[in-house]
Amino acid sequence: MEYFLLPILLFVLSFLSGMLGLGVAFISTPVLGLFGFDLKHVIMLWSLLLNGLTAISSATAYTRSHMVDWRTALPLLGITTLVAPLGVWILRFVPTTIVWWIYVGVLLFLAYRMAFAPKRDDAQKTAIADRTRIKGGLLSAAIGVFAGFLGGGPGFLLMPTLVMLGYTARIAAATNSVIVTLPSFSAFVAHLADAQFDWVMVGMTSVTSVIGAYYGGMFMAKRVKSRTLTRIFAAALILLAIQRIAILLSAL
């Protein structure tokens, strides 16, 4: 049953994540937890791999639509890639329950910031100062470590950070999709020694996720405005937080 359900489910999730400019890990991590997979040995590696693949796929769609700010994307890509394995190393010393509660806290904080993000005109070109890009680089280092610790790509933290720094949500999403590619793979390699999953299932879900993320990116580029994007992002984060809180409380 899982061989039929999970590829379809991850296609849908990847479409949504591609539309938001994220790799799928921010949503696949808690969803895969519902199926009873082990967090450290299965879910984190699986989500990190899918995260990198879906980010590349959606980034391809955004690049074709000329929406990526490359002066921001490339430096942050390098920084987050280098620091992501440090978060994976820290995870070895922290209980799983604590990891999930931190995850919930981050989701709620980001949901609040995105729900009340300042309104910006998509038709007006966003001017980003070099000082702002430097701030983004410093923040991306901390974000890369924390994302590796949580077993996800840095995208679900970076996208709202870029919005707070002054980017429109559409440009932030497109730029973010490039930034999250390599960090996901570097964290995946750091986790690989602990892998205990079904490679056939991983292969099937990888294919459907890549397809879903590409079409999600194309849909956003053509049809979704920044204000709508921030509201969708906030709602998705709140739902994920509620779902994970319910699971954590039921285990007490």
Give the mean pLDDT of 31-50: 87
- Identify which of 85-94, 152-161, 210-219 has the greatest average pLDDT: 210-219
- Please say if the pLDDT value at position 244 is more than 70: yes
Give the mean pLDDT of 230-242: 86
- Please say if the pLDDT value at position 174 is more than 90: yes
pLDDT tier, 143 (very low <50, low <70, confident <90, very high otherwise)? confident
If one compares 40 and 43, the residue with the highest pLDDT of the two is: 43
Q: How many domains in the chain? A: 1
- Please say if the pLDDT value at position 184 is more than 80: no
pLDDT of amino acid 125: 62
pLDDT tens digits, one per residue of 61-89: 999 999 999 999 999 988 888 887 787 78
- Please say if the pLDDT value at position 171 is more than 80: yes
Cβ of 153: how many Cβ atoms within 10 Å? 36
pLDDT of amino acid 126: 65
- Identify which of 52-61, 80-89, 94-103, 140-149 has the greatest average pLDDT: 52-61
Q: Specify the 3-state DSSP secondary structure of 86.
A: helix
- Please say if the pLDDT value at position 1 is more than 80: no
Comparing C-alpha atoms, which of 56, 102, 81, 231 is closest to residue 160? 231
Residue 40 per-residue DSSP state: I
Rounded Cα distance, 159 and 240, in Å: 17
- Please say if the pLDDT value at position 201 is more than 80: yes
Rounded Cα distance, 152 and 26, in Å: 6
Rounded Cα distance, 107 and 19, in Å: 18
**Range(s) of the domain holding residue 140:** 2-250
Give the mean pLDDT of 126-135: 80
pLDDT of amino acid 18: 92
pLDDT tier, 120 (very low <50, low <70, confident <90, very high otherwise)? low
